[in-house]
């Protein structure tokens, strides 16, 4: 393969990887934008969504098959179930802590993360599970470059979810309420907005997107495990900060940029894939030093 072929192939790989990061990063941005919480349990919600999708696909594959129809059904049902899990977590763990100091609610988020992590580890005995599908490796060949149909569909599905979430936040009455609460929660209460209901809706949306990313990752990589949410949770947080946390297009931009940096960075001579995490967190440090608000972020003044 010549240089152009390598660049094109890695670009295709980076779009898929960046899509996973971007979907999870949107959940970080949604929650942070509303209640200024860095939900460190979000990566584990992604992991739980993947396991729910695995369970649903195992049940429906007998009569729907393990092709795109079965995967689509498992994706939708996993998004719904994981969305309600996010609402339950918000109601039990975060809602009582809204008036508490930010450090307290962050520690609560870490506790929720450990509960989800260890629960799935105990249920699965720490084993990897094969996410079996009937998709195969067919695709489009352009010389030595191969674009699988799986890659194409996953990127298109991510784009659809991103556009749908952007339209929801910017065009619907619930999205307008979310943006209003992010500005002044107390004023929204005085205006008759059910703040707790809107916050719960935010957790539902963010958790559903994380579940979609989890099912897509299982479909793409062919396996899932209890530890899969840890690294991608950190990477998605990096992507959210890189693009500008609290800004949805910034979260997706950060995810795609991070996926691109990882894919191309490991192609540098004498540097292998074991360095990809170095690229990710090195970029995070540089962004925090030189542009703390992210690429699309903006400086805000907190009113006293």
**What's the total number of domains in the chain?**
1
Q: What percent of the chain has pLDDT over 90?
A: 46
Report the C-alpha gap between 269 and 3 in whole angstroms: 13
Report the C-alpha gap between 88 and 82 in whole angstroms: 10
Domain presence at residue 88: yes
Domain presence at residue 199: yes
Determine the 3-state secondary structure of 224 from DSSP.
strand
Q: Which domain holds residue 186?
A: 8-290
Report the C-alpha gap between 224 and 129 in whole angstroms: 5
Domain presence at residue 243: yes
Mean pLDDT of the chain: 87
Domain presence at residue 179: yes
The model's pLDDT over 52-103, given as tens digits with 9 standing for 90+, comes to 999 999 999 888 888 889 999 999 999 999 999 999 999 999 998 888 888 8
The answer, yes or no, to whether residue 304 has pLDDT greater than 60, is: no
Residue 120 sits in a domain whose CATH number is 1.10.3470
Domain presence at residue 301: no
- Please tell me the predicted confidence (pLDDT) of residue 34: 86
Reduce the secondary structure of 128-168 to three states and give it as a string. Answer: CEECCCCCCCCEEEECCEEEEHHHHHHHHHHHHHHHHHHHH
Domain presence at residue 302: no
Domain presence at residue 299: no
The answer, yes or no, to whether residue 268 has pLDDT greater than 70, is: no
Instruction: Give the model's confidence band at 4: pLDDT under 50 very low, under 70 low, under 90 confident, else very high.
Output: confident
The model's pLDDT over 154-165, given as tens digits with 9 standing for 90+, comes to 999 999 999 999
Domain presence at residue 69: yes
Report the C-alpha gap between 170 and 201 in whole angstroms: 15
The model's pLDDT over 211-260, given as tens digits with 9 standing for 90+, comes to 999 999 999 999 999 999 988 988 888 888 888 887 888 888 888 888 88
Give the angle subtended at the CA of 297 by the CAs of 14 and 104, to the nearest 5°.
95
């Amino acid at each position: 393969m010549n240089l152009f072929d390598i660049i094109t192939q890695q670009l295709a790989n980076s779009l898929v990887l960046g899509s996973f990061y971007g979907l999870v990063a949107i959940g970080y941005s949604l929650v942070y934008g509303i209640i200024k919480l860095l939900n460190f349990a979000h990566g584990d919600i992604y992991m739980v969504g993947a396991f729910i999708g695995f369970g649903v696909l195992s049940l429906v594959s007998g009569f729907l098959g393990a092709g795109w129809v079965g995967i689509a059904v498992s994706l939708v049902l996993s998004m719904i179930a994981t969305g309600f899990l996010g609402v339950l977590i918000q109601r039990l763990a975060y809602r009582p802590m809204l008036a508490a100091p930010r450090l307290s609610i962050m520690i609560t988020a870490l506790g929720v993360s450990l509960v989800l992590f260890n629960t799935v580890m105990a249920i699965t005995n720490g084993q990897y599970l094969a996410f079996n599908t009937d998709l195969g490796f067919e695709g489009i060949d352009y010389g030595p470059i191969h674009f699988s149909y799986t890659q194409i569909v996953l990127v298109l599905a991510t784009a659809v979810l991103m556009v749908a979430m952007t339209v929801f936040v910017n065009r619907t009455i619930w999205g307008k309420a979310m943006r209003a609460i992010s500005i002044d929660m107390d004023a929204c209460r005085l205006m008759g907005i059910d703040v707790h209901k809107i916050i719960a809706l935010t957790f539902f949306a963010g958790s559903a997107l994380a579940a979609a990313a989890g099912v897509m990752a299982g479909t793409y990589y062919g396996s899932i495990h209890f530890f899969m949410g840890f690294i991608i949770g950190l990477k998605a947080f990096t992507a959210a900060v890189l693009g500008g946390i609290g800004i949805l297009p910034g979260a997706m931009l950060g995810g795609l940029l991070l996926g691109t940096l990882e894919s191309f960075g490991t192609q540098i001579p004498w540097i292998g894939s074991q360095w990809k995490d170095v690229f990710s967190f090195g970029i995070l440090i540089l962004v925090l030093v030189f542009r703390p608000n992210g690429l699309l972020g903006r400086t805000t003044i907190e009113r006293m």
